[in-house]
Chain A
Amino acid sequence: MMSKRKVKDAHLPVGECFTELQRILRERLCHQQLPDKPVGLEAQHKNLLELLKRTAVHGESNSVLIVGPRGAGKTMLLKCVLRDLLEEKEVHKNLLQVHLNGLLQTDDRIALKEITRQLHLENVVGDKVFGSFAENLAFLLEALKKGDRSSSLPVLFILDEFDLFAHHKNQTLLYNLLDVSQSAQSPIAVVGITCRLDVLELLEKRVKSRFSHRQIHLLSSLAFEEYVERVRTQLSLPDDFPDGKFAEDWNDSIKTLCEDKSVEDVLQRHFNSSKDFRSMQMLLMLCLSRVSVAKPAIKPADLLEASRLCFADAKANMLHGLSILELCLIIAMKHLNDVYEGEPFNLQMVHNEFKKFLQRKSNSMYKFEQPVIMKAFEHLQQLELIRPADSSAAKTQREYQLMRLMVDNSQIMEAMQKYPQCPTDVKQWAMSAFG
């Protein structure tokens, strides 16, 4: 250990380099640090920017929805737009922003209080908002009504998780916001962010009619090459890295990594599974986390390891941890499923099946008491590997309650493969198509 420390001391500058590297890349991968320009979303960026600029500069009210699957970069896009928007001096002082999130503002009462707070209307003291729900609404509407296009500050309403707002009672908030955006009151822009393509069907028709039907879709059809390129840019260090030499080496290593065949396969696999940005970041994060002085570069092996971690079958992992008895029960259930094509079963049947197996060839296993089996059974239920077929648990005894298996045969097989010192007869039993 002493020796190790010595080594470290010797390489201290290198150590610092790695610390810096970790800091920068982690910022990028974990902290959603904004890129200079949204890659592959230029058109949408321009569109949105124009739109918001018109609101800020001309005081023209608008409403728009940003729709795209999870991790497609909706929020990132919006943030970029806002950043660029606020750079303009004319806009900078002339824009109020209200950020709402459907996850947080779960009903209109909360939402209204939050809006009032963020607008610093006069019924706010400290961070307390006075007045009942009704009064807050009236107050806000009054405030917005007073303003007019030319003179009053435009307000930018950003509703993240827009679809959740559509579930509020009567969609009061949405109606009013959109109504303001369509009438000659203080200029506002309503920007909704959602991942649901059917979001418009959620809107009541009078609300829908007030929405301008502008939608910005983030459906990137990016090719594999771009994907790989993205990986490279994500991992490579910026030019302003303190130690230029180190950065150079690192970037080269990344470059070589990306050209490696096995790496390409892994990436291809991920690309096939999902194009979304965040899952890629997760993969890279797993690789990056291993990098240290001791391990100065990302090797293809690391990537393989990481992707194995990502694609590991959770259920199989859990099966692996079961006791042999519990495993046997699972196998018995599998057989029952095969026999009675997926009909629900109860403990008695499973136990019976298990007993049959023991009678046939019970060299490795000895017979268990019913209660012991029961306990194992219940443990399986706790792990949600099996669940009651129907909720009529009340009247029936536990051993007769009908259950369903929630594990796929493939998972069982996989588990059998790597199960530690699994008795051969059990293995055979599992393999044999019919009990």
Chain B
Amino acid sequence: MKYFTRKRIRRIYEWRGEPVNFNRKLKTYEYSSLAISLEDLPRTTIINTGQHIFIEGEDEDNPYVAKVVKLFGDESGEQKKAVVQWFCRVSEVPQSKLKLLGREPHPQEIFYYQARSCDEEVDAESILRPVQVKHLDGATPFPDSSDKETLYVKLSWNTKTFRVVNSALVEGFLSPPCPKPSLPPSPPCLPVAVTPASRGPARRALPTPDLAVMLRAASGEVRYSRATMSAGKASAMEVESLHSVTKLSASKCLSAKRRNASAGTPGVRKKLELNSSERNSLTNDDILNELLDEELELAQRLSSSPPQTLPLAHSLTPLRKAHRPPDIGLKTSTIVLKKLSIAEMESPPSRDESCSPQQGGELPSGSVKTPKRRNGTPRRSYTPRGQKATTPSRKKEPKTLKEPGLGVLAEVDNENSPMLPDAVTPRTSKRKSAQLVSSRIRKQLNLLDNHQDLNSDSENEDEFIPSKKELQSSSEDEGGDEVFDSDEEVVAKKGRHAGSRTPRSKQKSRSSTRTPRKTPNKKMAPGTPRTPRHATPSIPSRSLPARQPANVLEEARTRLHVSSVPESLPCREQEFQDIYSFVESKVIDGTGGCMYISGVPGTGKTATVHEVMRCLEHAAEMDEIPPFHFIEINGMKMTDPHQAYVQILQKLTGQKATADHAAALLEKRFSNPAPRKDTTVLLVDELDLLWTRKQNVMYNLFDWPTRRHARLVVLTIANTMDLPERIMINRVASRLGLTRMSFQPYTFKQLQQIIMSRLNKVKAFEEDALQLASRKVAALSGDARRCLDICRRATEICEHSAADPSATGLVGMSHVMEALNEMFSSAYITAIKCASVQEQLFLRAVIAEFRRLGLEEATFQQVFVQHQALCRVEGLQPISVSEGLSVCQRLGSCRLLLLEPSRLGILQRVRLNVSQDDVLYALKAD
């Protein structure tokens, strides 16, 4: 981060020569070459198109390699951008894939990068210096030259396979297809996100990958078919959000920063695990040694003279040094060392990630967000803490116990005993550090001569970079961890509240332990207590396994259960096709859009969409289409419409936030451009539940896809066809657009086909039985669920009716009939038949009174008169008013009658809840 400001001070980029041509549409000038010069240094470096260059990554040693395809900027010339063709280094390729290479990769080797999923447009100002790239034919061996400035290309890498690449591509000037350059261009942010952990150690460590990790990596690979290399860079999009977030508050910006690091995609994680595994293989001694001399370094730096403290400040951040021209000898040397230490520092999180038990427990479960949440962790312990654990320092002890997921909640344990649940942390310490930091930030900002204004939204990065620097330096004199804590602390803003409810937390102890009544229970308020982080939602598993279906009927029953996912969805081919092509097209040309799907319940809306998604994801794996996220939310599964933001954010990035914070973040995410971002497909089920008075939730959902950089496809599902017209205000409805589709209720043929396909070949039903069921349902609702339930019930009836369970025949008409009766016949008539004499009398009295009044309503008093009369007729002794009331209210309680509140006594009005004919019929019958 800090590097930007540094750069502003130290390096000057300018175009050389006149623009080659001018793009009217985008108002961009294209240049042939770019001059990079260092201020107060004479020599300048010239970058021409077609030249190979280093683009800075976090790891100074091996920055990204690319070939300039095009250089361009806007009229003002402020924004300089370059379109490049990426190469990727050995270290960027996951170990698992390196196997495909079949040989030991040469350290100097790079691969021609051919994955769609990362965007070729970078900020020119992130260019470091030219580099020499040689193309070698597959056969020729690598010349072992020691200079790091020459790299060798043999193969191309497309995240799946290595292919031989022809020299023309590499050396030649023909440029690969590149997207329109976008303005305003993104700030140069690529490097930030790539966690150096991914590289530095990877090479230094003894390469002994352990199986588990490989496996995990592989699984991760399958789940997200995306370039590992893209990992680092894709996460750059997070940085976008970061920039604007800063306007919220200093702390927020910290949190954002924290997030960027965390927001890495599985790629990062995989790498972490990989080298982490290797780190494990390191002996403690190694670690210790490294530690020692790095601390030595620190000590030196601290003690050293002012001019040196500044570089020192950088030195903690892996970001930049390498592009410092080599002639600044002394610095570089220190830098290298520093870098080592950094690399050191960064490995531990990944280490305990791979070894922490909770981790093990979590990973297999394939939900999209789990791995991502993991990613949150590495940033946590950038401090040497990890290794320190091995050293006798008590202070750091708990850190190793910590499960990555709650790095957030860390510090705590410094003060109180490790065995406390993490939520129990007394927040004071954190809060202190947070304040400390923010105060420092403020101080720093004011110090900065060029940006005085705290709240200026412009130049966000400048706002917090110094702070960052400050942090770093401060971090040294405070034993290193505090600052990072504060970082995390902010992210875990809500996390802090966790402490506030947990019984043993210090400042709240009185309120929470003795008198829980203190704890407020406002929903959604950031103040609400949170689930302890270590809690993993799970149902205990059963001791002895579920019994498998024994006979045909049971088999049929399991197949007919609504939950059982069929091989294919019959009768919805057309809809399937439409949705598929809709989504596919959007994904392929990286645009966004909305689709509205309606249909009565049980017509397979959600099922179809899921089917589509399954297919598309498979296609993505096969690499037929670019990879994409699939996220699903359901209006009924949240407690209030605004939770939608929270859930989306969580599923997208795995981070938790309050509703409005989440909204802000998503807004950023979808409105700002980011390189190497891939499409998100969002399924919104039960849309109507997201209705709010101002409809802002719906509005956003439909507005984001229209953004240029959003790459968001929204599929919405609801029951009613005219929902947009009925409940949406115009600006929402118009954004929803006209791509709509309605699922018709199933016809009886379709229902029949569905059952057949479910049953496939299991012969359990007679033809006409099925037909009866499906016809009946089609006539009533066309709800597939009903039909399946009926058939299931029928099988049961059939089973019970059979003399001995072994010899059960097919399910016949009679059984289905019985099932239908059970489910559809209203119980009113039987209820009346079974009612007691007085109750029946009372019903008759009601009808008689209605007849007399010619109304459908009468007071109890009036009815009671009739009742008495009827009693006399029937020769029963008349009942008292109280008894009459109790009879009446008994009828009311099972809703044969509708009554007014009972405190009206004999004045309460009585109405029938059944048709008079039904009553009479029921009474006639016996």
What is the interface of chain A, defined by CB distance below 8 A to chain B?
Answer: 46, 50, 57-61, 67, 69-70, 90, 93-94, 96, 108-109, 119, 121-123, 125-126, 128, 130-144, 146-147, 149-155, 170, 172, 175-176, 179, 182-187, 195-198, 205-206, 208-210, 212-215, 217, 219-221, 269, 271-276, 311-316, 384, 387, 404, 406-408, 410-411, 414
How far is the CB of A391 from the nearest CB of chain B, in Å?
Answer: 13
Q: Which of B542, B564, B600 contacts A152 (CB 8 A)?
A: B542
In Å, the complex CA distance between A235 and B528 comes to: 55
Cβ A142 vs Cβ B537 within 8 A: yes
Cβ B881 vs Cβ A315 within 8 A: yes
Q: Assuming the A-B contacts A151-B542, A184-B565, A272-B876, are A404 and B643 also in contact, with contact meaning beta carbons closer than 8 angstroms in the complex?
A: no
Cβ B838 vs Cβ A137 within 8 A: no
In Å, the complex CA distance between A401 and B596 comes to: 59
How far is the CB of A308 from the nearest CB of chain B, in Å?
Answer: 11
11 example contacts (A-B, Cβ-Cβ < 8 A) are as follows A60-B558, A67-B827, A121-B535, A121-B538, A123-B531, A130-B498, A139-B535, A209-B781, A215-B822, A219-B833, A408-B881
In Å, the complex CA distance between A50 and B837 comes to: 34
- Interface check B105, CB cutoff 8 A: no
Nearest first, the 7 closest Cβ-Cβ pairs linking A and B are A209-B601, A143-B537, A122-B535, A313-B880, A123-B531, A132-B528, A59-B546
Given contacts A121-B538, A131-B529, 17 further A-B contacts (CB under 8 A): A57-B547, A69-B890, A108-B639, A109-B521, A126-B503, A130-B498, A133-B524, A137-B637, A172-B639, A197-B827, A197-B831, A215-B827, A217-B827, A316-B880, A387-B907, A406-B904, A408-B906
Q: Assuming the A-B contacts A69-B831, A70-B890, A272-B838, are A133 and B879 also in contact, with contact meaning beta carbons closer than 8 angstroms in the complex?
A: no
- Interface check B365, CB cutoff 8 A: yes
- Enumerate chain B residues within 8 angstroms of A150, measured Cβ to Cβ: 545-546
How far is the CB of A43 from the nearest CB of chain B, in Å?
Answer: 10
Cβ B423 vs Cβ A213 within 8 A: no
How far is the CB of A63 from the nearest CB of chain B, in Å?
Answer: 9
Cβ B639 vs Cβ A133 within 8 A: yes
Cβ B539 vs Cβ A196 within 8 A: no
How far is the CB of A163 from the nearest CB of chain B, in Å?
Answer: 9
Choose, from B49-57, B88-96, B386-394, B893-901, the stretch at the interface: B893-901
- Interface check B99, CB cutoff 8 A: no
In Å, the complex CA distance between A314 and B880 comes to: 9
Choose, from B242-250, B454-462, B572-580, B783-791, the stretch at the interface: B783-791
- Enumerate chain A residues within 8 angstroms of B283, measured Cβ to Cβ: none
Residues in B782-814 with C-beta less than 8 Å from chain A: 783, 785-786, 789, 792-793, 796, 800
Q: Which of B781, B786, B882, B893 contacts A315 (CB 8 A)?
A: B882
Cβ A134 vs Cβ B531 within 8 A: no
How far is the CB of B299 from the nearest CB of chain A, in Å?
Answer: 44
Q: Assuming the A-B contacts A125-B532, A176-B637, A275-B836, are A406 and B906 also in contact, with contact meaning beta carbons closer than 8 angstroms in the complex?
A: yes
For chain B, the bracket of interface size reads 35 or more
What is the interface of chain B, defined by CB distance below 8 A to chain A?
Answer: 365, 367, 421, 423, 498, 501-503, 516, 521, 523-525, 528-532, 534-549, 554, 557-558, 561-565, 600-602, 636-640, 643, 646-647, 686, 689, 719, 781, 783, 785-786, 789, 792-793, 796, 800, 822-824, 826-828, 830-831, 833-834, 836-839, 861, 864, 868, 876-877, 879-883, 886-887, 890, 893-896, 903-907, 913
Cβ B529 vs Cβ A152 within 8 A: no
In Å, the complex CA distance between A322 and B558 comes to: 69
How far is the CB of B510 from the nearest CB of chain A, in Å?
Answer: 15
Q: Which of A70, A135, A315 has the most CB of B within 10 A?
A: A135
Q: Which of B501, B827, B907 contacts A130 (CB 8 A)?
A: B501
How far is the CB of A222 from the nearest CB of chain B, in Å?
Answer: 9
Q: Which of A57, A136, A153, A404 contacts B541 (CB 8 A)?
A: A153
Q: Which of B529, B563, B890, B896 contacts A183 (CB 8 A)?
A: B563
- Enumerate chain A residues within 8 angstroms of B824, measured Cβ to Cβ: 213
How far is the CB of A433 from the nearest CB of chain B, in Å?
Answer: 16
Cβ B836 vs Cβ A272 within 8 A: yes
Cβ A128 vs Cβ B686 within 8 A: no
Cβ B524 vs Cβ A273 within 8 A: no
Cβ A213 vs Cβ B786 within 8 A: yes
**Who on chain A is nearest to B365 by CB?**
A146
In Å, the complex CA distance between A126 and B543 comes to: 25
- Enumerate chain A residues within 8 angstroms of B895, measured Cβ to Cβ: 196-198
Q: Assuming the A-B contacts A274-B838, A384-B905, A411-B881, are A122 and B557 also in contact, with contact meaning beta carbons closer than 8 angstroms in the complex?
A: no
Cβ B530 vs Cβ A131 within 8 A: yes
- Enumerate chain B residues within 8 angstroms of A219, measured Cβ to Cβ: 827, 830-831, 833-834
Q: Which of B367, B639, B828, B903 contacts A134 (CB 8 A)?
A: B639
